[in-house]
Amino acid sequence: MTSSQTIADAPTVACCAPGVQPIGDEHAADLARVFKALGDPARVKLFSLIIASESGEMCVCDLTDPVGLSQPTVSHHMKLLVDAGLVTREQRGRWAYYAPTPGPLLAAVRHLAKQ
Amino acid sequence: MTSSQTIADAPTVACCAPGVQPIGDEHAADLARVFKALGDPARVKLFSLIIASESGEMCVCDLTDPVGLSQPTVSHHMKLLVDAGLVTREQRGRWAYYAPTPGPLLAAVRHLAKQ
């Protein structure tokens, strides 16, 4: 192939900046899952309660009243936060206890916003 | 009311920690909107491309190819990022240009994760 052929094969319109590669599909999905878990006001409240807890954890029995939701609904929201890696869950007798693990959120933001 | 009545009126079961107040409804909704905007892999990619742009902005014409989506689809995703305050949009002739404004994301995370 000659250089003239190479030039002829190149795109004829380049309006703006040179192409930049986005992050990969799998990584983008991982980051989106973390953000999506917090993309709901109830889960923002639940996460904020747990992360603000002085003891470093909260019983599900203490989460229902502040957010005004039933325990099954709270447990559903908490499962999404657990699945996203934003909290851990430990069952002790009758109650589940949740502790915050904000690492994935901080890592996601650091990756995106270069912080 | 006597002190014995006060005690009788108190909840008979207090399993765990004292109650903590969550953040308000409006603030929780604001934070959730920011996170929800990034709760999609395509929008994560688009935001990462714009924030990584050396010129500080990107033309919509340069966003379609890297994410493999049509311009109307990219524009839809970009509107959600604009509405969440994560990018600004400027029309110049035929093309829209987007610049990153990660402030709301950083503020949301700072509020939640005390960073």
Residue B20 is which amino acid? Answer: V
Instruction: State residue B58's pLDDT score.
Output: 96
Instruction: State residue A14's pLDDT score.
Output: 42
Instruction: State residue B19's pLDDT score.
Output: 54
Task: Please enumerate, as own/partner, the contacts of A9-16 that have beta carbons within 8 Å and a separation of 24 or more.
Answer: A15/B59, A15/B61, A15/B62, A15/B95, A16/B58, A16/B59, A16/B61, A16/B62, A16/B95
List the single residue in B with minimal CA-CA distance to A86: B113
Report the topology of domain A25-113.
Arc Repressor Mutant, subunit A (1.10.10)
Q: Which residues lie closer than 8 Å to A29 by C-beta, 6 or more apart?
A: B41
B20/A62 touch (CB, cutoff 8 Å), yes or no: yes
User: pLDDT tens, position by position, for chain B (115 residues)?
Assistant: 444 444 334 344 444 455 566 789 999 999 999 999 999 999 999 999 999 998 999 999 999 999 999 999 999 999 999 999 999 999 999 999 999 999 999 999 988 876 3
Instruction: State residue A18's pLDDT score.
Output: 52
The residue assigned the tokens 């610049």 is B99
Whether B107 has its CB under 8 Å from any CB of chain A: the answer is: no
List the single residue in B with minimal CA-CA distance to A30: B41
* Chain A, window 20-59: residues with a beta carbon less than 8 angstroms from a chain B beta carbon: 20-23, 25, 28-29, 31-33, 35-49, 51-55, 58-59
ipTM beyond cut 0.95: no
Instruction: State residue B112's pLDDT score.
Output: 85
Q: What is the pLDDT of residues A17-73, one digit of tens each?
A: 555 667 899 999 999 999 999 999 999 999 999 999 999 999 999 999 999 999 999
Report the topology of domain B41-115.
Arc Repressor Mutant, subunit A (1.10.10)
Instruction: State residue B27's pLDDT score.
Output: 93
Structure token digits, residue A1: 């192939």
SS3 A27: helix
Q: Which residues lie closer than 8 Å to B81 by C-beta, 6 or more apart?
A: B37, B38, B43, B46, B47, B87, B98
Residue A37 is which amino acid? Answer: A
- The residue ranking higher by pLDDT, B54 or A114, is B54
Per-residue pLDDT, averaged over A79-100, amounts to 97
A39/B22 touch (CB, cutoff 8 Å), yes or no: no
Whether A71 has its CB under 8 Å from any CB of chain B: the answer is: no
- The residue ranking higher by pLDDT, A6 or A93, is A93
